[in-house]
Amino acid sequence: MQPNTLLDAILDEAGISHAGLAAHVNQAGRVRGLALRYEHTAVARWLKGQRPRGQVPDLICEVLATRLQRPVTLDDIGLGVPGEPATPHGTTLSGFVERATALWRSDEQQRPHILGAPAVTGTPAVMPVWEWENPPEDVDVSRGGRHRVRMSDIEMLRAARAHYEQMYRKAGGVATRTRIVGFLNSETAPLLRGSYTDATGRQLHRATGGLVAIAGICAYDSDAHGLAQRYFHQALRLAKASGDRGLGAYVIALLVNQALFMREHRQAVAFAEAALRAAGRHITPALASDLSAMQAKAYAHLGDGSSALSCIRRAEQAADRIRRGYEPDETGYVQPGLVNVQVAEALLSLGDLSAAQEHAAAAVDNPAHDRGRVHRLAMLSQIELRQGNADRAVVTAVEMAERARGMESQRLRDRLRAVREHLVASGCAGTSEAAELIDGALRVPL
Position 124 pLDDT exceeds 80: yes
Mean pLDDT over the full length of the chain: 91
pLDDT digits (tens, 9 = 90+) for 184-214: 999 999 999 999 999 999 999 999 999 999 9
Give the predicted TM-score (pTM) of the model: 0.84
pLDDT digits (tens, 9 = 90+) for 3-16: 898 898 888 888 89
Position 79 pLDDT exceeds 90: no
Position 83 pLDDT exceeds 50: no
429 pLDDT band, cuts 50/70/90, is low
Specify the pLDDT at position 90.
40
Position 89 pLDDT exceeds 50: no
pLDDT digits (tens, 9 = 90+) for 133-144: 999 999 999 999
Specify the pLDDT at position 442.
79
Q: SS3 sequence, the chain?
A: CCCCHHHHHHHHHHCCCHHHHHHHHHHHHHHCCCCCCCCHHHHHHHHHCCCCCCCHHHHHHHHHHHHHCCCCCCCCCCCCCCCCCCCHHHHCHHHHHHHHHHHHHHHHCCCHHHHCCCCCCCHHHHHHHHHHHCCCCCCCCCECCCCECCHHHHHHHHHHHHHHHHHHHHHCHHHHHHHHHHHHHHHHHHHHCCEECHHHHHHHHHHHHHHHHHHHHHHHHCCCHHHHHHHHHHHHHHHHHHCCHHHHHHHHHHHHHHHHHCCCHHHHHHHHHHHHHHHHHHCCHHHHHHHHHHHHHHHHHCCCHHHHHHHHHHHHHHHHCCCCCCCCHHHHHCCCCHHHHHHHHHHHHHCCHHHHHHHHHHHHHCCCCHHHHHHHHHHHHHHHHHCCCHHHHHHHHHHHHHHHCCCCCHHHHHHHHHHHHHHHHHCCCCHHHHHHHHHHHHCCCC
pLDDT digits (tens, 9 = 90+) for 220-252: 999 999 999 999 999 999 999 999 999 999 999
Specify the pLDDT at position 440.
83
446 pLDDT band, cuts 50/70/90, is low
Specify the pLDDT at position 175.
92
Specify the pLDDT at position 426.
79
pLDDT digits (tens, 9 = 90+) for 32-64: 888 999 999 999 999 988 999 888 999 999 999
pLDDT digits (tens, 9 = 90+) for 381-391: 999 989 988 88
pLDDT digits (tens, 9 = 90+) for 249-291: 999 999 999 999 999 999 999 999 999 999 988 899 999 999 9
Specify the pLDDT at position 82.
52
Task: Quote the percentage of the chain above a pLDDT of 70.
Answer: 96
Specify the pLDDT at position 289.
97
Domain boundaries, the chain: 5-91, 93-243, 251-350, 369-446
